[in-house]
Chains A and B, each alone.
Chain A
């Protein structure tokens, strides 16, 4: 049951972090889907089903957080590139701030001296 708990927690955490990862990947420069996947592969445990990136990109576009453009590819058909819109950049800045604050808060709790707890 402990494994189930950890797995459930990981799944929930991953869903939120995938958005954050994808948005950070297209911050400052346009990238195409596969390029984003390759970048996120470097984050251990973040991307389980690589196909899930594409609906997320679609949602970001639908919500006006990402804009797209078709660019010719030397390897085949044109590729769809994604980049953050100004609104997307503003939303991401807030998300990054919150993520930093949560991370710092958790780190602080973890680094507290719990010697007296035992």
Chain B
């Protein structure tokens, strides 16, 4: 029996579970036999000279699983021939366009609600274009275009998740300034309408909100690592519980700093 670390065992179990799900899509395949072959492959690949090298590590396991390829590609391989994906290509192009326009609007700080809608639509289309491959590896997506969509949509998703509270606080602060300006037409335009202490306060609230958010997100990533990995995959494939703990600790520090600023 191959000895492996707990993390390596979890990686293998997740891969086999994804493979089982993928193989279930083709009733003509004997899934149990294919899984047996995959397991035999892993044992053979990692078993050589193992006693001298200790238990299999997660990194070693990742290497073998990566060479095996995405679980979703297993059924395709058993099929009779290649399937073209022109619809996916157009969806990918549309997703890229939406993400680009949305990102430009966000960067420009204009039409923020519309920008967020565009980014969200781009994300959804991006995930659609990459189909079942979101749980696999980026290199398994067909063509450079879909890989680009995969990179863009994942980067947008992770960034949006991380900075969402700060953006919300900032936009609320801006709206507050706009309302003040509406009530006092003679007042100078924002952000000059506010004393510097107001923006320090806004920064404090932003840090507090972002810190609490990171604390929650980090805790979720630490406790439900596999689920989070699947949700934001494929790039955070190497996401581990310790990354969640680091994010949670950073969030805690940020929240404490923000709270300090707000209270003072």
Contact = CB atoms under 8 A, between A and B. Distances in A.
Nearest to B65: A51
Given A51-B68, A52-B74, A8 B37 contact: no
Contacts of A18: 77
A35 to B, nearest CB: 8
Contacts of A11: 82, 142
Contacts of A76: 1-2, 43, 47
Contacts of B23: 55
Interface residues of B, number: 38
A61 B28 CA distance: 12
Interface in B52-87: 67-71, 73-78, 81-82, 84
B74 A4 contact: no
A54 B82 contact: no
Interface in B27-60: 28-30, 33-34, 36-38, 40-41, 43-45, 47
A87 interface: no
Contacts of B67: 49-50
Tell me what chain A mostly uses at the interface: helix, strand, loop, or mixed: helix
Task: Categorize the interface residue count of chain A.
Answer: 20 to 34
Tell me what chain B mostly uses at the interface: helix, strand, loop, or mixed: helix
B38 A51 contact: yes
A7 B144 contact: yes
Contact of B77 (A15, A61, A80): A15
A55 B77 contact: yes
B140 interface: yes
A57 B140 CA distance: 21
A37 B44 CA distance: 11
A80 B37 contact: yes
Interface string B115-144: 000000000000000000000000010111
B70 to A, nearest CB: 7
A52 B2 contact: no
Contact of B82 (A12, A37, A55, A75): A12
27 contacts: A18-B77, A32-B44, A34-B40, A34-B44, A48-B69, A49-B67, A49-B73, A49-B140, A51-B19, A52-B74, A53-B37, A53-B77, A54-B34, A55-B23, A55-B75, A56-B78, A57-B37, A58-B33, A58-B34, A58-B78, A59-B78, A62-B30, A75-B43, A75-B44, A75-B47, A77-B40, A80-B36
Given A49-B140, A80-B37, 7 more contacts: A12-B81, A15-B82, A49-B68, A54-B33, A55-B29, A62-B30, A80-B40
Interface of B: 1-2, 19, 23, 26, 28-30, 33-34, 36-38, 40-41, 43-45, 47, 67-71, 73-78, 81-82, 84, 140, 142-145
Interface of A: 3-4, 7-8, 11-12, 15-16, 18, 32-34, 37, 48-59, 61-62, 75-77, 79-80
